[in-house]
């Protein structure tokens, strides 16, 4: 969601111009900018997961020994998996395997539409099924955080979520960025057009509602100067978490929307929080969705420790039985 200000400006223009139909605003909401990630220098597996008629491309980074768990990094709108290499730099020394993939409609993955978690949460669960590494923790930024929260509400194998700058409801975050005169019927028509084109339900994209069903620990992090997703969204999500000690809210004074990922002190807090979580996996409960995974690590609950067996950038992918 790093370029959401520009996206919403275009939406506003579409909604307030008499010559542009609501379908234009709907397509802008659905269609992220596609930026390709540069291959990381760190050794990694190159993986691909087939979801229906969409291929999702990923990198899997592994520690030297058996992993203590899997951390999935989810990027925001208009982003890609590139920052996942930095997440690996920070979490591999702690023993975690790290998966970073281009979400549908982004990077080298297939698909044309971004539905902000409606379909993406099932993509995440399919990766959990394919890799078989537990326990699973998810670190998401912006739209990626929203996907993580929505997935954690329905997937018990997710044992912890770090949510960086998630929105509480999709329709609210779009409405808040538009001028008052563009928030009425025109916005409703654009959202309805997006629903028809991508076959999803905007009202269902609501991490604050999903939070009611999350029983894993959640660390909500938000910058107080976030001008894309106001920090009030984090407070709304936190208030909906079950009345246990699972939910933590961390507001970073002076931080904006995208610079959260650049703070070394924050990453140290994230690493310490993740190391404090229970490590024992819950019983396997595979998703009923059908997916095919391509790559040397698919379907292997315990990755081999030999660094020589990793697929380097550009290496030929193996075809496992997934």
Largest CA distance in the chain: 62
Q: In what order do the strands lie in the sheet with 136-141?
A: 247-252, 218-223, 158-164, 136-141, 70-74, 97-101, 54-61, 45-51, 291-294
**Domain spans of the chain, in order of start:** 36-171+202-309
Which pLDDT score, from 0 to 100, does residue 278 have?
78
> CA-to-CA distance for 24 and 11, rounded, in angstroms?
8
Q: Which of 44, 125, 126 is nearest to 85 (CA)?
A: 44
pLDDT, mean over the chain: 85
End-to-end Cα, the chain, rounded Å: 32
Q: Which CATH number, 1.10.760.10, 3.30.70.600, 3.40.50.1820, 3.90.78.10, labels domain 36-171+202-309?
A: 3.40.50.1820
Residues 6+ apart with CB under 8 A from 81: 37, 57, 58, 59, 73, 75, 100, 101, 102, 107
pLDDT band of 25, cuts 50, 70, 90: confident
Burial 12-21 (b: 16+ CB within 10 A, else e): bebbeeeeee
Task: List C-alpha distances in Å: 88 to 133, 172, 243.
Answer: 16, 33, 32
SS (H, E, C) 11-41: HHHHHHCCCCCHHHHHHHHHCCCCCCCCCCC
Distances (CA, A) of 225 to 251, 252, 301: 10, 9, 41
CB atoms within 10 A of CB 308: 6
Residues 6+ apart with CB under 8 A from 287: 122, 125, 126, 128, 129, 155
The whole-number pLDDT of residue 301 equals 42
Q: Which of 220, 278, 280 is nearest to 252 (CA)?
A: 220
- Percent of the chain past pLDDT 70, that is, above it, reads 81
Q: Tell me the whole-structure pTM to 2 decimals.
A: 0.85
- The pLDDT, as a whole number, for residue 251 is 96
**Mean pLDDT, range 74-97, rounded to an integer:** 96
Look at residue 293 in the predicted model and tell me its pLDDT: 78
**Tens digits of residue pLDDT in 94-153:** 999 999 999 999 999 999 999 999 999 999 999 999 999 999 999 999 999 999 999 999
Pick the closest to residue 180 from 10, 5, 15 (CA basis).
15
- Residue 162 contacts residue 248 (beta carbons within 8 Å): no
pLDDT band at 184 (very low <50, low <70, confident <90, very high): confident
Strand partners, 70: 97, 136
């Amino acid at each position: 969601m790093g370029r959401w200000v520009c996206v919403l400006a275009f939406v506003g223009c579409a909604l307030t111009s008499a010559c542009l139909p609501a379908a234009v605003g709907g397509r802008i909401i659905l269609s992220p900018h596609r930026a390709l990630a540069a291959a990381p220098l760190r050794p990694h597996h190159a993986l691909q997961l087939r979801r229906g008629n969409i291929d999702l491309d990923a990198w899997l980074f592994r520690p030297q020994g058996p992993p203590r768990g899997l951390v999935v990094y989810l990027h925001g709108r208009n982003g890609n998996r590139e920052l996942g290499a930095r997440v690996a730099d920070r979490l591999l020394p702690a023993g975690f395997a790290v998966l970073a993939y281009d979400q549908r409609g982004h990077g080298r993955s297939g698909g044309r539409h971004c539905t902000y978690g409606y379909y993406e949460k099932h993509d995440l669960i399919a990766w959990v099924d394919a890799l078989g590494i537990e326990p699973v923790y998810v670190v998401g930024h912006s739209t990626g955080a929203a996907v993580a929260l929505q997935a954690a509400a329905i997937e018990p194998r997710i044992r912890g979520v770090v949510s960086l700058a998630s929105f509480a409801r999709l329709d609210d975050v779009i409405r808040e960025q538009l001028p008052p005169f563009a928030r009425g019927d025109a916005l409703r028509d654009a959202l309805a057009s997006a629903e028809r084109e991508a076959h999803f339900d905007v009202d269902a994209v609501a991490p604050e509602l999903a939070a009611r069903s999350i029983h894993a620990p959640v660390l909500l992090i938000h910058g107080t100067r976030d001008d894309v997703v106001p920090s009030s969204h984090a407070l709304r999500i936190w208030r909906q978490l079950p009345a246990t000690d699972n939910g933590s809210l961390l507001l970073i004074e002076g931080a904006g929307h995208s610079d959260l990922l650049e703070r070394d002190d924050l990453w140290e807090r994230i690493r310490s929080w993740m190391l404090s979580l229970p490590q024992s996996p819950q019983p396997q409960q595979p998703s009923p969705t059908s997916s095919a995974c391509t790559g040397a690590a698919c379907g292997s609950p315990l990755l081999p420790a030999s660094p020589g067996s990793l697929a380097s950038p550009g290496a030929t992918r193996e075809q496992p039985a997934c």
